[in-house]
Structures are given as structure tokens and as C-alpha cells.
A and B are shown apart, each in its own frame.
Chain A
Amino acid sequence: MRKTIARLTAVALTAVIAACTPITAEAKERSYTYNYDYWGDVQDSPDLYSVCKVFTSSDLKLDKKLANPQGLYVHDNSVFICDTGNNRIIELERTARESLSVKNIIEEVKGAPDVNTLSGPTDIAISVEGNIFIADKGNSRILKLDKDLNFIMQFTKPTDNTLDPKVPFAPNKLVVDTAERVYCIATGINKGLIKYEADGEFSGFVGATPASYDFVQFIWKKIASQEQLAKMEAFVPTEYDNIYMDGDGFIYACTGSVAEEDLKSGKVDAVRQLNLLGNDILVRNGVYYDGKFPVYGDLYMGSGGGYSGPSYFSDVTCFENDIYVCLDKNRGRLFSYDDQGKMVFICGGNGHMDGYFRKPIGLDHMGYDLFVLDQLDCAITMFTQTDFGAKVFEAMDLFDEGKYEESQAVWEKVIEMNGNYDLAYIGIGRSYLRQKDYKTAMEYFELKYDADNYSKAYRQYRKIWVEEHIVPIVIVILLLFLIPLGIGKYKSIKYEFETSDAFKYNN
């Protein structure tokens, strides 16, 4: 007996120890592309984009190696690289799907007032008329050239008495609208985008980010000494890092140098879509358990793999179908959202393999292909859509064209390839909604917690249901009133009978 007890105790002790030993957690290998679901959980996904080719200086057969390139711009069939370190801009032409070849190298302009050479150009843009605009940062000017590089005019430091006259003008990024107005980001100017009219006149700042300001900071400022004040960050709006003008003339502006708390509290935005007045009109309507889905890249900002903090958006581009892609310099990722602010895909990472980056700085698109410029690697990565990605985009485009049944069929193929793709479920739901199949639409929306769309479908469903069942509904309501009324009446008559004197003679 005693032996049994001893044995049992030993077994129990072993079991307890085994239970308390931590199970060695396996580091789960994530897929290259992923997505966030309603709960903010990471869902592995098949690739929507994959690397088609990586072009280095030697692949492009350049005479000088790219040095510190900072700008990438796509116009029609050409890719422009601002080879900032070599003071030149390289125009590459896409001759076939997988090949880029040097078409032209812009080193000098003709007939400029001061100097004809470029000095550290950081961005280039081409207007509808074919005129070339170059942010010639080192020479503190924006050049406007015709397509043969003849000087037309230049845009210089805006005459605004709030700007420090000692600080040289450093135009960094620029876009040009259809009327050849220039919007530019200059280093050190945080009042928003500098806007020049077509005639070169400075016409004001647009789209400044609201300055982040809080009460605790204010109190600290009051009691801090001069030295402490100097170390503190000023109450200033954040500067934009990059801009992109979409086909409709809206400017996508992104900024990366923002604090984690400000992003999370919604005080600052990582990406904004500015209209002509400079107001942010970006739709943030993605479904998320905690309000609206945040458009600031990675949801988890903890440190890992040597990187920490929020995503640093260094460039943004927008396709014709209003899906936009942001480039994260911090973790080397691409974040893509649709026009409702729903996550389309996330891919990439830091590293040396193809499709991974070290310091991605420029992003643009040609059709549905993406080009990413890496500042440290001095390489251009070309992404093309996979079958899965093409299906997702096709489904969205079909929906926008009003072909709801076709769109639904394509979304169903998407689900076959990735059952965790939330957009597909919502897309099918929206197609059913347009086809007036409200019940099925509701089921799809409920699966992915899309309360707004669900309510849209349910409102119609409820209306139809009430209209179809109006007769029984009226009868039930009437009965609810009439039955208690009848019972009351019956009781009072019965009472009258029982207490009435008229019947008392019989007793």
C-alpha cells in the first residue's frame, strides 16, 4: 500500500513538473504577404505581388554606379531615377515586360540663369504638356524645362516672412497638376505643401498637418529651463515625407516622422489624401474591432529583428482604381489599402533577398506593376501581380464597372485561393447587395463583422419583409389590443350580471 502511494506521488510530481515546464515556442515563419483581419490578427496570405526583377547599376549598364538615389518617378513607359549622389537623373525605358534600358541621362539643362548643371536632384515630375519639372535641391530651385531640356522658368524660395531667410530653400519632392501648378515639399518647411501657380508665383501653403499639442507638454514647457526647452520637440506640424498626385488631381501625402502615441490616438495621420483646399479626404472606413481600421501600416510596433516603432511611410502611390500603396522605410514593407481604407495586402520586409529592402525610398507604379527604389542597395525592384493579385484587382475593377455578378464570381475564385481574405467576403456581400439578394449579403457581411454594410442590407430586407407580411402584422397588433380589451369587457359584463338586481328575484 505504502509503495503504491509512493509511486502515485512520484507520478503526480512528474506530471506537475512536466506541466510547469514551458513549452518551447516555435518561431512561426510568416508568409511574405500577409493581411490583418477584423481583430488585427495577422493572416498569412498568398502573394498579390511578387518580384519580377531587381535592377542594379550593372544590370542597367550604367557608366557610374548609382549613388544615394532618392527619387523614383514613372511617366508612361519611362522610369526616372534621381541619382542624387551623381547629380543627375536617369531615364529608363521599359522595352519589354522584364527589361529596363537607359534611354537618356539628364545631367545638364540648356539656358538656365545661374548654373546649367544639376546639384543633388531629388524628384522629377512631368506635366500633361510634356514639360519636365525637377527639384534641384542643391541649387535651391525647381526647374521647369521643355521636353528637350530647354530652360523655361524656375521656382525659387517663396517670399513669405515666416520663413527664416538664412535657411536655404531645399525643395525635396514635387508634383504637378494638369494646369502645371506645382506642389512641393521642402526640407525644413512644415507649413504644408508649397503651392506655385503656373506662372511661377508662390500662392500659399496647403494641407498643413495640425500641430500636435497636449496639455501635459504645455505645462512642461512652462516650467522647463532654456536647455531643456532646446532639447524638447517644438509644437510644430510634422513635415510630409513624400507626395503623389493621382489621376483625379488629389494629392496623397505621407509622413513618417510621427510618434507612436500620436498615430494610435489619431492625432496625426501617416497618409492623407488632400483635395484642392488642402483638406484631408482620405476614407478610413475599414472594419476593425476598435473603431475604424487604422491606416498607418503595421498595427504592432514592438521591437523585433532590430526594428521598432511605427511604420515610416517614405512614399505612396495610387493605382487608377484608387487602391493606394505605401512604402514603409522602417520595416521595408509595402502596405496597400483600397478606397475605403480596407487592407488589401502587406508584403516585404528588411533583408538582402529579392523583395526585401534595406532603405526603400521611392515607389511608383506603371499600370499595375510596382517599382521600388532602395536608397542603400541602389537598386530598383519591379513587382508584378501574381494570379491571385490579378484576381483581387479584377474583382474590384468589375465591381466598379457595375458588373456585380462577374465581380462576385471572381471574388469566389479569390476565396478558393485564400479563405482568409476578408475583402473577398465583403466584396461578395456587396455584389449580392447590388443584386438585391439581401439575405445572402447579410450572411457574408456578418462573417466579416461589416456592420455598416450589414445594416444597409438588413434595412432593405426588413422593409421588404414588412411589406410582404403587412396583413399578419396588422392582425397581430390588433389582436394584442383587442384581446385584453375583450377580456376586460367580458369581465365587466360578467360582474354586472352577477351583481345586477334584475336577476336576484330568481334566487
Chain B
Amino acid sequence: MFASLTSKENWQRYLKSLKYSLYVITHPIDGFWDLTHERRGSYAAANTILFLTILARILSLRYTSFIFIQVYWEELNILTYILSILFPLALFVIGNWALTTLFDGKGRLGQVYMATCYALTPYPLIHFPLMIFSNFITVDEAEFYSTMAMIALIWIAFIGIFGMSQVHEYSFGKNILFLVATVFAMLVMIFILMLFFSMVSQGVAYFISLGKEMLYRM
């Protein structure tokens, strides 16, 4: 396993695939096609982008000016905060794959994940500089901050849509249809998960109360 880390070729391939994300976000149609079909992307790079995105979000809690982000530190749980990014992402990837695979989608689970992560590239790209910039502006100039943050979101959504259509080899209309359907798939999954957890917790509660009862009688 560590052998692959020391190999120079692997590193070069990794850096090349990471650098390729810059091409993807500026040329989404072309970029996403080559990402999967020409194998120009890598999981390592996708993971890196995701990691940077999460890092940007966590660091901005502390280092963005308090004018823009106020954090109630008493109730902040870093793990749930990370999960609040990872969980919807996982839901989207799984939901999208599960649906499209039934309707001629060419993308495999890994490819959907990779494309989604590559589509997140603008987030760290914009938010790291924005985090530093935010400390040099006042309330009156807050528009700059919110506009840039908005641009990041729109950019991600825009290339995300193209990414999905290229990965699945869908037409534009069909792609939009399945992205909307994915949202419903995510809701269904959340519903089932909630059902599952409430049942499990009730089951556990039953055995706990059983155990308690036994302890009282002993």
C-alpha cells in the first residue's frame, strides 16, 4: 500500500488529475466527458477536493470575520458539522446512481462520486480567498462577500448539472428530470433511515427497560 505512495509516477498522475479539476470547472462539457471516458480524473483527486471543501467550511467558522459568520460555539459539534456535508453528498450520489442505473445511465457509482466531487472545486477555490478577504471589509461592503459566495454556489450547481449529463450520457432534458427525481430519492432515503433508526432505538429501549426491570428485581 505504501509502495504506491512512494512511486513518483503515481504522484505525478495524482497532481495531473488534481490540476485537471481546473480544466473541468472552466470547460464543464468537455471536461466531464474526458473525466470519466478518458480516465483523466482520479479518486485521490476527488477525495482531495472533497477534503478541501470540508476544510474550507470548517476553517471559515473560525477565520471568517464575525460580521458574516457568527458561530454558537457551545453547540458546535465538529463531527456532526462534517457529517452535515458528507451525509447529503452521500445521499445525492447514491440516490442519483440508484435512479440513473435503472434508466440507461452510463455512470457507475464511483464515477458519479468523482464527478460530484470535481464539481465542488469552485467551493475551496473561492472560499479560501474569501475567508481572508472577509477580514478586510466592513458591513457596508458585505455585498462583495455575499455575491462571491453566491457565485460559488451557482458555479457549482451549473457545472454539477453538466457533469451529471456527461457522466450518464444523458440529454439536457432527461438530465434535469433525473436530478429532480434524485431529490425525491434523497427524501425517500431520509424517510426510510428515520423509520429505521426510530425502530432500532425503540427496540434498544425495550431491551434496556427489560434489563432495568431485571436489575430492580435482583
**A interface vs B, CB < 8 Å?**
13-14, 16-17, 20, 38-39, 289, 446, 449, 451-452, 454-456, 458-459, 462
Contacts and interface: CB of A to CB of B under 8 A. Distances in A.
B136 interface: yes
Interface stretch (B66-74, B176-184, B185-193): B66-74
Given A451-B66, A452-B139, A17 B72 contact: no
18 contacts: A14-B215, A17-B212, A20-B205, A38-B70, A449-B66, A451-B66, A451-B139, A452-B139, A454-B66, A454-B67, A454-B138, A454-B139, A455-B67, A455-B138, A455-B140, A456-B138, A459-B138, A462-B136
A38 B208 CA distance: 41
Given A449-B70, A451-B66, A454-B67, A16 B140 contact: no
Nearest to A456: B138
B88 interface: no
A456 B139 CA distance: 9
A13 B211 contact: yes
Interface residues of B, number: 13
A426 to B, nearest CB: 14
B172 to A, nearest CB: 36
B133 to A, nearest CB: 13
Contacts of B212: 17
Nearest to B139: A455
B67 A20 contact: no
A446 to B, nearest CB: 6
Nearest to A20: B208
Given A452-B139, A455-B139, A459-B138, A16 B208 contact: yes
A8 B70 CA distance: 46
Contacts of A456: 138
B70 A289 contact: yes
A251 B67 CA distance: 34
A458 B208 contact: no
Nearest to B141: A455
Which secondary structure dominates where chain A touches chain B? helix
Given A20-B205, A454-B67, 18 more contacts: A13-B211, A14-B215, A17-B211, A17-B212, A17-B215, A38-B70, A289-B72, A449-B66, A449-B70, A451-B67, A451-B139, A452-B139, A455-B67, A455-B138, A458-B138, A459-B138, A462-B136, A462-B138
Contacts of B140: 455
Contacts of B70: 38, 289, 449
B66 A39 contact: no
Contacts of A13: 211
A446 B139 contact: no
Contacts of A17: 208, 211-212, 215
B56 to A, nearest CB: 22
Nearest to A450: B66
A458 B70 CA distance: 18
Contacts of A459: 138
A430 B165 CA distance: 56
Closest 8 CB pairs of A and B: A455-B138, A455-B139, A451-B67, A20-B208, A459-B138, A451-B139, A458-B138, A17-B211
